[in-house]
Every structure is written in C-alpha cells, then in structure tokens.
C-alpha cells in the first residue's frame, strides 16, 4: 500500500483574557517576580474564568486554524483533542466537534499530558497517510489552573491555561510534511509528575465497598523532571532527525514544550542549536501543557517568524513520563 503524506496548512490559538503576573501571584503565595522569572523564565500566565470551558477554548483555536487553512468545518473528517483537563471525564472532543460545526468528523480525546500535541500529531498522521481520512484538526488544550495547589509555590507559579490547534491535510508522498518522529514512555518515573485520584471507601451494603472521590492537585518533583527533560529530549530529537535523514544544522526552528526557560536553553545547547532558532513564548503564558507547542507555533507563524517550508523540530515532554519529537515542515499544498 502506498503511504501518502501530510501537510500542516493552518494554525490557531486561544487564551483566556485574564492575566496573572508574578507580582500579583506574590500576594497569593510567598514568592516574587525575581524568584519566578530567574528560575523559570515566566512573567505571567493566563487563567480561565470559572464559567469558561475547555471546549470553548479548544474550539476557538480550531476555528482560527481552519480559517487559516481555508477549510470549511464540513470538510473535516477527524478531530483529535489532546488534553489532560477535559470538561467531562468521558471526553470533550465531541463537544469541540459540535462547536466548530464539523458533523461529519469523528472525534476523540488523547491524553499524554505535556507530550499530548506531539503524540496527537503522529497519531493523526497515521490516519491521513493510510488514506482513511483527508482533513483533520488537532488541538492541544488544557486548563491546569483548576488543578493547581495555589499554596504550593513550586508548582503554582508554572502553569497557565490555553489552547492551540493545527489543520492537517492529506497530500502526496513527495510533499510529506512529517519527516521523522520518536515517541517514548517510561512509567517507572510516573511519580515525578502526577494529578492523582483521591478516594474514600463508600459502603454499599455489608461487606461490599467501592471507591468514590475526586482528583487531588498537581504534584511534581521539579529536579527529576529537569534532569529527565535535558537528557531525553535531545536524544528523541536526534533520533527523529536521523529518521528524517537530517542533522541539527538543517533545522530552522527548535520548538519545545514551554515548561521552563532553563530546560529550553539546556536542550538547545546540547543540540548545538543557536538561541535565535529557539521559539519561546513562555514568559507570557507559562506552562500550558498540551497547548504550549501549538500556541507557540501559531504565534510564530502569525508574526511571520516561521515561513512556509521551514523545518521545525517539535518536542513535548512531561507526565507519564512521556516524551516525543517530530520533525515537520510548515505549510505545503494539500
């Protein structure tokens, strides 16, 4: 069977209007702008209001991506929502499908935390490359502010809310925009970053109990995550480059999950990628989990920083632990 190609033809982004800067955050927890910015590179983050839904954010980003691609929602065959914070534990992709007016599309959620967008990109590509679907919308969206412990300065300073999306379209093999990828998981380190289920026993009848409860709050071992990221992310990118028959010097841009500026700098240094090729919007949005890569991509495209035909190494990493890299070309004919 002939393997077809994919083209990334549109991008979009959406963030809440409410900004929480470091000075204001210091009124909530013992910290300061200097402490946060020097350790993370973050200056502010966006927070969703109590009334805002994840589906609303995700749909807004998807609509922008469809508009850029010049694609009608009725032409969309597939909607994949990468998120760890759905409105409904059963999933929110179908809500997004309805919001954007894509009744013909099949929709499902994908959960891989901060790696979700890269995992979603590779997943969607398989449906297009095999000819099953022609047009897809991939969204990364999270509202982590609802699961942050606002008394824990190690984590509450990091996270923000947002959504980013891309349109992926089937194309000819010679125009394939996914040049190589590498996906990895290591459950042995799962405890380094968690949002665990917290339960209590509930007796139904004598000698019969079930568990009932809710999810707790984000907990993270920051030192272990840092060590994991600066070692594993360059390895994944190098393997993806090898599969693409490219080298570091062929890259126009390095687009990493926006977790911490120190991680971005360390990974770029290990790969010998100059700082001017590293895309970062971390200072304005913080860590938006699955949204961070497509949100930064969209800003770079709309500011004409990324041009059609540019080669990008995108890499996500986080809870699971999961990590992955994809070498892609921006734009192209569908």
Convert the pLDDT of each residue in 288-301 to its tens digit: 999 999 999 999 99
Write down the residue that tokens 């954010």 correspond to: 57
Which tokens hold the place of 177?
């925009």
CA torsion through residues 168, 173, 175, 180, sign: positive
Whole-angstrom distance, CA of residue 213 vs CA of residue 197: 7
Whole-angstrom distance, CA of residue 110 vs CA of residue 82: 5
- How does pLDDT run across 210-230, given as a tens digit for each residue? 999 899 999 999 999 999 999
Beta bridge pairs of residue 108: 80
Nearest Cα to Cα of residue 177 among 313, 3, 7 = 7
Asked whether the predicted pLDDT for residue 334 surpasses 70, the reply is no
pLDDT for residue 312:
98
Asked whether the predicted pLDDT for residue 90 surpasses 70, the reply is yes
Residues 6 or more apart from 15 whose CB is under 8 A from it? 46, 57, 160, 161, 162, 163, 285, 288, 295
Asked whether the predicted pLDDT for residue 252 surpasses 90, the reply is yes
Beta bridge pairs of residue 331: 8
The mean pLDDT of the chain is 96
pTM over 0.85: yes
Active site residue: 22, 114, 156, 260, which one?
114
Whole-angstrom distance, CA of residue 137 vs CA of residue 10: 9
Question: Is 287 designated active site?
Answer: yes
Whole-angstrom distance, CA of residue 253 vs CA of residue 37: 24
Write down the residue that tokens 């954007």 correspond to: 100
CA torsion through residues 16, 282, 290, 309, sign: positive
Which tokens hold the place of 72?
């009608």
Question: Is 22 designated active site?
Answer: no
pLDDT band at 1 (very low <50, low <70, confident <90, very high): low
Q: Which helix (H) or strand (E) holds 36?
A: helix 33-40
Whole-angstrom distance, CA of residue 81 vs CA of residue 170: 19
Residues 6 or more apart from 204 whose CB is under 8 A from it? 210
CA 168: distance to chain centroid? 16
CA angle 83, 311, 110 (to 5 degrees): 15
Q: Which residue ranges form the domains of the chain, and what is each CATH number? A: 5-175 (3.40.47.10), 179-188+219-329 (3.40.47.10)
Nearest Cα to Cα of residue 76 among 182, 207, 170 = 170
Cis peptide before 236, with omega less than 30 degrees from 0? no
> How many Cα atoms are found within 13 Å in the side-chain-facing hemisphere of 142?
30
Residues 6 or more apart from 28 whose CB is under 8 A from it? 150, 156
Burial string for 278-313 (b: 16+ CB within 10 Å, else e) reads: bbbbbebbbbbbbbbbbbbbbbbbeeeebeeebbbb
Give 278's DSSP letter.
B
pLDDT for residue 82:
98
pLDDT band at 3 (very low <50, low <70, confident <90, very high): confident
160 close to 286: Cβ distance less than 8 angstroms: yes
Reduced to 3 states (helix: H, G, I; strand: E, B; else coil), residue 184 is: strand
Active site residue: 156, 257, 260, 281, which one?
257
Asked whether the predicted pLDDT for residue 266 surpasses 80, the reply is yes
DSSP-assigned letters across all residues of 195-242 = --EEEEEEEEETTEEEEEEEE---EE-HHHHHHHHHHHHHHHHHHHHH
- How does pLDDT run across 111-122, given as a tens digit for each residue? 999 999 999 999
Q: How far is CA 225 from CA 62, 110, 113, 222, in A?
A: 30, 22, 13, 5
Question: Is 207 designated active site?
Answer: no
**What percentage of residues in the chain have a pLDDT greater than 70?**
99
Active site residue: 22, 135, 260, 287, which one?
287
């Amino acid at each position: 069977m002939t393997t077809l190609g994919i083209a990334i033809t549109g991008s979009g982004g959406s963030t809440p209007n409410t900004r929480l800067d470091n000075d204001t955050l210091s009124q909530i927890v013992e910290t300061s702008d200097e402490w946060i910015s020097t350790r993370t590179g973050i200056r502010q983050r966006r927070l969703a209001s109590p009334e805002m839904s994840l589906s609303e954010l995700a749909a807004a980003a998807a609509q922008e991506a469809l508009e850029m691609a010049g694609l009608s929602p009725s032409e969309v065959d597939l909607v994949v929502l990468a998120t760890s914070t759905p409105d409904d534990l059963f999933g929110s992709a179908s809500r997004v499908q309805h919001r954007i007016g894509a009744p013909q599309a099949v929709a499902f959620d994908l959960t891989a935390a901060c790696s979700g967008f890269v995992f979603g990109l590779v997943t969607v590509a398989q449906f297009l490359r095999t000819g099953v679907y022609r047009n897809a919308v991939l969204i990364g969206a999270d509202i982590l502010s609802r699961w942050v412990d606002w008394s824990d300065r190690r984590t509450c300073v990091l996270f923000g809310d947002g959504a980013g999306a891309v349109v992926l379209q089937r194309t000819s093999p010679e125009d394939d925009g996914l040049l190589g990828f590498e996906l990895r998981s290591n459950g042995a380190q799962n405890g380094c970053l968690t949002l665990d289920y917290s339960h209590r026993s509930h007796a139904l009848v004598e000698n019969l109990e079930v568990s009932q409860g809710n999810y707790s709050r984000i907990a993270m071992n920051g030192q272990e995550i840092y060590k994991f990221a600066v070692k594993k992310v360059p390895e994944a990118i190098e393997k993806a480059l090898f599969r693409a028959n490219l080298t570091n010097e062929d890259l126009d841009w390095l687009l990493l999950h926006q977790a911490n500026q120190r991680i971005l700098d360390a990974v770029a240094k290990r790969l010998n990628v100059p700082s001017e090729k590293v895309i970062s919007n971390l200072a304005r949005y913080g860590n938006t989990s699955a949204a961070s890569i497509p949100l930064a991509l969209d800003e770079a495209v709309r500011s004409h920083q990324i041009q059609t035909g540019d080669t990008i190494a995108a890499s996500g990493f986080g809870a699971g632990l999961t990590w992955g890299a994809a070498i892609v070309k921006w734009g192209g004919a569908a």
